[in-house]
Amino acid sequence: MFPKKEKFGGKAAYILALAGSAIGLGNIWRFPYMVGEHGGAAFIIIYIICSFLISLPIFLSEAVIGKVSGHGSYEAMKRLAPNSAWRGLGMMAVISSFIILSFYCVVGGWSVDYFVRSIAGTMSVTSRESASALFGSVAGSVCEPLTAHLFFLGISAVIIVLGVKKGIEVFSKISIPLLFVMMVIVTVYSISLPGAAEGVSYLVRPDFSKIDASVVASALGQSFFSMSLGVGMVVTYTSYSKDSGIVSAGAWTTVFDTLFAVIAGFAVMPAVFAGGLEPEAGPSLVFEALPYVFGQMAIDMPVFSRIATIIFFFSILLAALSSSISLFETCVNHAMEHNKFSRRKATLLVLVLTWVLGVLCSLSFGPLKDVKIFGENIFGFCDELTSNYLMTLGALAFAIFVGWRMDWQKVTGSVGRFFHFMIKWIVPPAILTIFLSSILS
Ligand code: PHE
């Protein structure tokens, strides 16, 4: 009924592709500003606990669905729970990945813009004002962000057309090791800046008085976003895997993702403090603070600072690409399985749809900034809808399905039993409690 599926070359490729999806803007762009907004080290500790105790079991739930069914989320639910409303979960996951892809590529476009400027030497940020003016024009004008957005989307589409092995696998195998090396270089540079020590201590000295229900909910939401959960990406990638070692794949993905987020925190925060800036700047933190700080350093050390800037923005670009392709593939796989489209046709369809919503998201920083949905601009609405609600709901539903509806008879061994217990009894109530208490507080 279905054409034969493409598969990853082996376990390493599967894990690297998963790590590629997990490591992204969520780690370099979102994680540092979330840490800054929620009080530093204590947030990081809660984040790590959430990742291993809640996100990892959810990852495994999605992986089990992909493994047992051999399909993406919609077809998987159709087969595992025939004639039931569970297929709605599969569809919701595909729609969520489409919405995330649309706004994600806008930020991907900004990273293209900053990278090109860092190479061309046209960043020219000499003051805080010029840093925000630069971000304002990169994000808020019309031609520049739309061109960069299209370029970013285009590269993602090319990788997807190349397929699972020649596209996603090859890209992940190159980009993930490179990303770690580059981020460590920037971290070393950042920590060596005068005044950086304060930033380091901000990341290692927890202040638990800042922790409340909404901080825990933010840490959990950040962990879901960073590990790409609740949108069927893990289901799709696992359906491309030949081996059965999903527990170790999940553990590795969690370790890589958490490690990379922490390294990125150490790349960004010391620089922010070295520049005398506030860590609570929010989404513009990386795009404003880093060019400003590295720009200041350029006065004394022009070569080092230039290299650090180029490497930093290249890392953001690569990380964004390795994640955007996973969202893209989740949608393309759906169109191939459900609509029986060829890979090319499915890619073109997703490209066009994502471009349309992406243009609206991009313009919501410029000409469309007064268009509000529930008080947010279009970009903010798409971000909140998916990160705060759809991903959480998807993650919860995948765990409930696997914990309560799937047959676990064959699961043996203490590790398998431990995760079954977590998925069935601990994860759903934990998510519900955290989610509801943050809404009610
Ligand atoms: N995990 C990615 C990041 O950290 C974002 C993402 C979310 C990718 C959902 C795929 C699915 O940037």
Q: Is the pTM of this model over 0.85?
A: yes
Q: Which residue has the higher pLDDT, 436 or 22?
A: 22
**Statement: residue 70 has pLDDT above 60:** yes
Q: What pLDDT is recorded for position 318?
A: 98
With respect to residue 93, please indicate whether it lies within any of the assigned structural domains.
yes
Q: Are the CB atoms for 368 and 70 separated by under 8 Å?
A: no
Q: What pLDDT is recorded for position 297?
A: 80
Q: Which atom of ligand 1 is nearest to the CA of 324?
A: 8
Domain with 368 in it = 11-440
Neighbour count for residue 67 (Cβ, 10 Å): 17
Average pLDDT over the chain reads 94
Question: How many domains does the chain contain in total?
Answer: 1
With respect to residue 318, please indicate whether it lies within any of the assigned structural domains.
yes
Q: Which atom of ligand 1 is nearest to the CA of 323?
A: 8
Q: What pLDDT is recorded for position 29?
A: 92
Q: How far is CA 160 from each of CA 203, 346, 413, rounded to the nearest angstrom?
A: 37, 10, 38
Euclidean distance between CA atoms 212 and 389, whole angstroms: 19
How long a stretch of residues is the chain?
441
Tokens 């090109």, residue located? 116
Euclidean distance between CA atoms 385 and 369, whole angstroms: 18
231 lines ligand 1 (CB under 6 A): yes
Residue 388 is which amino acid?
A: N
| Mutation probe of ligand 1 site: the residue of 98, 104, 227, 256 with most atoms within 8 A of C-beta | 104
With respect to residue 3, please indicate whether it lies within any of the assigned structural domains.
no
Beta partners for residue 376, in sequence order: 373
- Range 220-238 average pLDDT: 97
Q: Give the model confidence (pLDDT) of 1-13 as tens digits.
A: 555 789 999 999 9
With respect to residue 27, please indicate whether it lies within any of the assigned structural domains.
yes
Strands (E), 306-381: none
Q: Which residues, at least 6 apart from 356, have a Cβ–Cβ distance to it below 8 Å?
A: none
Q: Which atom of ligand 1 is nearest to the CA of 320?
A: 12
Q: Which residues, at least 6 apart from 139, have a Cβ–Cβ distance to it below 8 Å?
A: 110, 145, 287, 362, 365, 366
Q: What pLDDT is recorded for position 3?
A: 58
Q: Give the model confidence (pLDDT) of 297-325 as tens digits.
A: 877 778 888 899 999 999 999 999 999 99
With respect to residue 2, please indicate whether it lies within any of the assigned structural domains.
no
Q: Are the CB atoms for 272 and 38 separated by under 8 Å?
A: no
With respect to residue 373, please indicate whether it lies within any of the assigned structural domains.
yes
Neighbour count for residue 344 (Cβ, 10 Å): 12
Euclidean distance between CA atoms 275 and 61, whole angstroms: 43
Question: Atom 6 in ligand 1: which residue has the minimum CA distance?
Answer: 228
**Statement: residue 362 has pLDDT above 60:** yes
**Statement: residue 239 has pLDDT above 60:** yes
Torsion angle (degrees, nearest 10) of CA 378, 380, 383, 388:
-120
108 lines ligand 1 (CB under 6 A): no
Q: How far is CA 118 from each of CA 106, 112, 216, rounded to the nearest angstrom?
A: 19, 10, 36
Neighbour count for residue 302 (Cβ, 10 Å): 10
Beta-carbon-side half-sphere exposure of residue 337 (alpha carbons within 13 Å):
25
What DSSP state is assigned to residue 376? Answer: B
Q: Give the model confidence (pLDDT) of 27-62 as tens digits.
A: 999 999 999 989 899 999 999 999 999 999 999 999
Strands (E), 11-61: none
Q: What pLDDT is recorded for position 2?
A: 54
With respect to residue 15, please indicate whether it lies within any of the assigned structural domains.
yes
Q: Give the model confidence (pLDDT) of 244-287 as tens digits.
A: 789 999 999 999 999 999 999 999 999 999 988 888 888 888 99
The CATH number covering residue 402 comes to 1.20.1740.10
| Mutation probe of ligand 1 site: the residue of 95, 226, 254, 334 with most atoms within 8 A of C-beta | 226
Q: What pLDDT is recorded for position 284?
A: 84
- Range 84-113 average pLDDT: 98
Q: Are the CB atoms for 270 and 33 separated by under 8 Å?
A: no
Euclidean distance between CA atoms 76 and 9, whole angstroms: 22
Neighbour count for residue 52 (Cβ, 10 Å): 14
Q: How far is CA 227 from each of CA 27, 72, 222, 290, rounded to the nearest angstrom?
A: 10, 17, 8, 25
Q: Are the CB atoms for 141 and 299 separated by under 8 Å?
A: no
Q: Are the CB atoms for 227 and 253 separated by under 8 Å?
A: yes
Q: Which atom of ligand 1 is nearest to the CA of 319?
A: 12
- Range 371-395 average pLDDT: 95
Euclidean distance between CA atoms 439 and 381, whole angstroms: 17
